[in-house]
Amino acid sequence: ITRKTVVDEAGIHHEADAIVLATGFNLQKQMTSIDLIGRDGRSLRKLWANGASAYHGAMNPGFPNAYFVTGPNTGVGSTSVVLMIEMQIKFIMKCIKEAGRTKLIEPTDKATISYNHTMQKDLQQTVWATDCKSWYKDETGRIGTLYPHTARRFKSEKRQLNKADFNIILKAMP
């Protein structure tokens, strides 16, 4: 690299105003970089070993009162992630309010499986599911990062808690 050019292996000088070093990143592995241990010693890393998924991208069965702000299937390619984070925080605050100080809240297995089945089915109708190589996909081609719809729909889906989708129990007090 000289003051104004990048020199390739053949010795040819290419003028450049800027050089961008893009090393990439792996969102799938980032989600399991730390291990969260839930009820009965349940490991989030093990749960997500074959792809991260969560109820509304925010929580998992077996991990009461544990929340993700930018969890699985919460990113969109059409708006700022900040907007998605704000909506996710409002959803999480509804869960916290529902649990209060005396209860534990977690989604049911049935609701979580159903939600994630719908996410993956709907993602198959997007450009992200085509044959292109993308960091949105894991090694198997599964998309665990993106939300398949608009930010407006994301917000609408989080407007109210469907209490039937949750196990809400009294906390054991010390």
- Residue 132 has which token pair? 């292109």
Containing 81, the helix (H) or strand (E) segment is helix 81-99
Q: 76 CB contacts (<8 Å, ≥6 apart)?
A: 84, 146, 147, 150, 151, 154
State the Cα–Cα distance between residues 57 and 48, nearest whole angstrom.
13
Q: Which two tokens stand for residue 31?
A: 């989600």
Provide the CB-side half-sphere exposure for 24 (13 A, CA).
7
CB of 54 closer than 8 Å to CB of 72: yes
Q: What is the pLDDT of residue 92?
A: 96
Q: Of the candidates 100, 83, 87, 145, which has an alpha carbon nearest to the alpha carbon of residue 120?
A: 145
26-56 residue pLDDT tens: 666 667 777 889 999 999 999 998 889 999 9
Find residue 105's DSSP bridge partners.
Answer: 168
The more confidently predicted of residues 104 and 2 is: 104
User: What is the structure's pLDDT at 99?
Assistant: 95
pLDDT digits (tens, 9 = 90+) for 120-171: 999 999 988 998 877 788 888 899 989 999 999 999 999 999 999 999 999 8
Model pLDDT for residues 66-79, shown as the tens digit of each residue: 999 989 999 887 88
